[in-house]
């Protein structure tokens, strides 16, 4: 084996600190729980059945997942 760097940009990379995966798992479980607890309440706020269901059980969980992903990336950038 050669001692040349194997990255695409040819840079040397050292081993960093371990990423706290338990925080991401906790956030994912929290997203599921929050969706189940508040999704029905959000969907009841709209008169049309399909609009309320779409907002409460499609868009709301997607918003929560996007937020948890941003928090995870923030945690990862501070590692």
pTM: 0.72
CA distance 17 to 34: 30
Residue 25 counted as domain residue: no
Residue 73 counted as domain residue: yes
**Number of structural domains the chain divides into:** 1
Q: What residue numbers bound the domain in which 66 lies? A: 40-79
Which long-range contacts (C-beta less than 8 Å, at least 24 apart) are formed by 31-36? 31/61, 31/64, 31/65, 31/68, 34/64, 35/60, 35/61, 35/64
Residue 55 counted as domain residue: yes
Residue 13 counted as domain residue: no
Residue 50 counted as domain residue: yes
Residue 49 counted as domain residue: yes
Residue 3 counted as domain residue: no
pLDDT tens digit sequence for 19-55: 778 888 999 999 999 999 999 899 898 878 889 999 9
pLDDT tens digit sequence for 49-66: 889 999 999 999 999 999
């Amino acid at each position: 084996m050669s001692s040349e760097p194997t990255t695409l940009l040819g840079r040397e990379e050292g081993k960093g600190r371990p990423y706290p995966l338990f925080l991401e798992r906790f956030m994912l479980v929290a997203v599921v729980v929050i969706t189940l607890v508040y999704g029905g309440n959000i969907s009841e706020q709209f008169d049309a059945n399909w609009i309320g269901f779409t907002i409460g059980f499609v868009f709301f969980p997607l918003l929560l997942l996007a937020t948890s992903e941003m928090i995870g990336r923030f945690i990862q950038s501070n590692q």
